[in-house]
Structure 1
Amino acid sequence: MSRYAPRELPLDVRLMQGTSRALYWLVALGCVFVVAHWMMQRSWWDIRAVRLQGDLQRISPVTVRAEALPQLQGNFLTINLAQAQRVFENLPWVRTAVVQRLWPMQLGVTLQAQQPVALWREPGSAPQLVNAQGQAFTANLGEVQGLGLPLFSGPVGTSAQVLQMSQTLQPLMRAFQQNVVALALGSGGNWSVQTRSGLHIDLGSAPDSTATQTRLKQFMTLMPQLESRYGRAIDSVDLRYPNGFAVHLQGVDLPGMNKTTNKTTTPQPAGRND
Structure 2
Amino acid sequence: MVAFAAPAPAPLPGDVRLMHSTANAVFVIAGLALAAAAVLWVTRLPFFALKSIRIEGEVARNSISTIRANAAPKLAGNFFTLDLQKTRSAFETVPWVRHAVVRRVWPDRLAVRLEEHHPAALWAAEDGNDKLVNSQGEVFEANVGDVEDEALPRLAGPEGSAAAMLALYRRLQPVLVRLDEGDIDELHLSGRGSWRAELENGAVVEMGRGSDDEVLARTERFVRTLAQVTSRYQRPLEYADLRHPDGYAVRLKGVTTTVPAAPARRK
Determine the structure 1 residue equivalent to 2:12. Answer: 9
Determine the structure 2 residue equivalent to 1:106. Answer: 109
Q: After the TM superposition, which residues 1-274 of structure 1 pair with which residues of structure 2 at under 5 Å, given as runs?
A: 3-124=6-127, 126-177=129-180, 178-206=182-210, 208-210=212-214, 212-224=215-227, 226-230=229-233, 232-250=235-253
Structure 1 regions of 5+ residues with no counterpart? Answer: 256-274
Structure 2 regions of 5+ residues with no counterpart? Answer: 259-267
Aligned-partner residue type, residue 104 of structure 1: P
Which TM-score applies when normalising by structure 2?
0.87
Structure 1 position 231, deviation (Å): 5.3
Structure 1 position 158, deviation (Å): 0.4
Specify the SS of the correspondent of 1:189: coil
1:21-65 per-position Cα deviation (integer Å, ceiling 9, x unaligned): 211222222122212111111111000000001011012211211
Structure 1 position 252, deviation (Å): 6.2
1:210-264 per-position Cα deviation (integer Å, ceiling 9, x unaligned): 5x54543343345455445345432111110011212223356777xxxxxxxxx
Q: Quickly say closer, same or farther: Cα 1:32–1:208, change in 2 above 3 A.
A: closer
Specify the SS of the correspondent of 2:232: helix
Size of the alignment, in residue pairs? Answer: 254
Distance in 1 of aligned mates of 2:187 and 2:211: 11
Distance in 1 of aligned mates of 2:44 and 2:157: 51
Q: Report which of the two structures shows the higher radius of gyration computed on alpha carbons.
A: 2
Distance in 2 of aligned mates of 1:34 and 1:169: 65
Distance in 2 of aligned mates of 1:213 and 1:156: 23
CA contact (8 A) 1:151 1:183 kept: yes
Structure 1 position 101, deviation (Å): 0.7
| RMSD over equivalenced CA pairs, Å | 2.1
Which TM-score applies when normalising by structure 1?
0.85
Identity %: 36
1:59-88 per-position Cα deviation (integer Å, ceiling 9, x unaligned): 221121111111112110111212211111
CA contact (8 A) 1:191 1:207 kept: no
